[in-house]
C-alpha cells in the first residue's frame, strides 16, 4: 500500500501545505494521534482497575517507550509540514487523557471501535512510510531503511502475538 501511494505521487508532491488536499493527510495524522493514545489510556485505566499497581506500572512503561518512538516519527513528519513538536505531543497526551476518562465513565466506545482506530492508524502509518521512505523525501540511507524494516517487523510480530 505504501509503495502504491508513493507511486501515485510520483515522488514529486510533498505534503507541505502546498495543496488543500494536504489538510486531509494532516487531519488524519492528528486524529490518529489522538485516537491511538486514547486506546492506550483506556487500556491503562482498565489494567489499573483489574490488575493493580504493578501491572499498570509495567504497562505504563510500555506505553512510554512505545509513544516515545511513535511521537519521534510523527514529530519528524509534522516538522516537514511546518507544524511544531508540541502540537504533536500535546494531541497524544490529550488522547491518553480521553482514554482514561472514557474508562472512568465505563464507556466502551474505544474498546468497541478499536478495529476502526487500528485501520486509521494503519492508513496513517502507510502514509508516513510512503511519504518519507518510498518517495525519497528523506535521504534513503540503508540504516534508515533497516530501522524502518525492523520497526515494521517488530510491530507485525507484536500485533500477531
Degrees to nearest 5, angle at CA 115 with 58 and 98 = 55
Confidence class of residue 125 from pLDDT cuts 50, 70 and 90? confident
Instruction: Taking each helix axis as running N to C, give the angle between helix 2-9 and helix 114-129, from 0 to 180 degrees, rounded to the nearest 10.
Output: 50
Query: Does 11 have pLDDT greater than 70?
Result: no
Single pTM value for the model = 0.69
Please report, for the chain, the start and end positions of each structural domain, with discontinuous segments joined by +.
Answer: 2-160
In the block, cell 499498570 appears at: 56
- Are residues 59 and 103 in contact, defined by beta-carbon separation less than 8 angstroms? no
Degrees to nearest 5, angle at CA 85 with 21 and 26 = 15
Confidence class of residue 142 from pLDDT cuts 50, 70 and 90? low
**pLDDT, tens digit, 9 for 90 and up, residues 15-30:** 555 566 667 777 878 8
Query: Does 9 have pLDDT greater than 80?
Result: no
Top-confidence range, 8-12, 66-70, 75-79, 91-95 = 91-95
pLDDT value of position 132: 62
Q: Distance (Å, rounded) from C-alpha 116 to C-alpha 91?
A: 19
Query: Mean of the pLDDT values across residues 71-97?
Result: 85
Query: Does 2 have pLDDT greater than 60?
Result: no
The larger pLDDT score, comparing residue 148 to residue 114, is at 114
Amino acid at each position: 500500500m505504501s509503495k502504491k501511494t508513493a507511486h501515485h505521487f510520483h515522488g514529486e508532491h510533498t505534503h507541505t501545505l502546498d495543496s488543500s488536499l494536504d489538510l486531509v493527510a494532516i487531519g488524519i495524522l492528528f486524529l490518529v494521534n489522538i485516537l491511538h493514545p486514547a486506546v492506550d489510556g483506556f487500556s491503562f485505566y482498565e489494567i489499573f482497575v483489574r490488575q493493580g499497581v504493578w501491572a499498570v506500572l509495567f504497562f505504563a512503561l510500555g506505553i512510554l517507550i512505545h509513544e516515545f518512538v511513535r511521537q519521534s516519527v510523527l514529530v519528524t513528519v509534522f516538522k516537514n509540514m511546518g507544524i511544531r513538536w508540541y502540537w504533536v505531543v500535546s494531541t497524544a497526551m490529550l488522547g491518553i487523557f480521553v482514554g482514561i476518562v472514557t474508562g472512568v465513565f465505563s464507556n466502551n466506545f474505544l474498546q468497541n471501535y478499536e478495529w476502526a482506530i487500528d485501520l486509521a492508524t494503519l492508513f496513517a502509518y502507510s502514509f508516513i512510510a510512503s511519504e518519507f521512505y518510498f518517495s525519497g523525501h528523506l535521504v534513503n540511507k540503508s540504516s534508515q531503511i533497516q530501522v524502518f524494516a525492523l520497526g515494521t517487523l517488530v510491530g507485525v510480530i507484536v500485533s500477531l502475538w
